[in-house]
Amino acid sequence: MKMTILLSILSLPVVMTAFAGGTADDAKNIQGTWLPVKAELSGKPMNDDFYKTVTLKLDRGKYEVTAESADKGTYTLDPAANPKTIDVTGVEGPNAGKRIPAIYELHGDTLRICYGLGGSPRPTEFKSLRGTQNLLITYKRKKE
């Protein structure tokens, strides 16, 4: 029993460091310009114009979506949640004053976000099913 407690105490800094590293890594690695490569809303694929016009820029807690009109605001990450969460809050444009709960996955140059639109609860999985207002988008990092 004493050995188990000792090992738990000794491993705590390692766990805390790994957690802090993960948090810092996602906050840093999510920054950049992202282009949608796959998207669906309520279980239906988005039309081709969506892919030609939408760009997502993430920069130190601020976002900008360029489409027919600009949408700007802030975002916060919780990489410790399972699944990882991102909250988007509109400041300018069509989403001004709205908070959009979402989940995300970040793997290298691929970012997947499932947004709960229209006051929907936060999605719990990466699915956009009929009857939901979930918008599921897979982005690829834009090569500069």
Separation CA 93–CA 87 (nearest Å): 17
Segment 46-85, tens digit of pLDDT? 999 999 999 999 999 999 999 888 999 999 999 999 999 9
pTM: 0.82
Taking a C-beta distance cutoff of 8 angstroms, is the pair 18, 26 a contact? no
Segment 78-132, tens digit of pLDDT? 999 999 999 999 999 999 999 999 999 999 999 999 999 988 899 999 999 999 9
The ranges assigned to domains in the chain are 2-141
Q: Which CATH number does the domain 2-141 belong to among 3.10.180.10, 3.30.590.10, 2.40.128.280, 3.40.50.920?
A: 2.40.128.280
- Residue 25 corresponds to which tokens in the numbers above? 């890594």
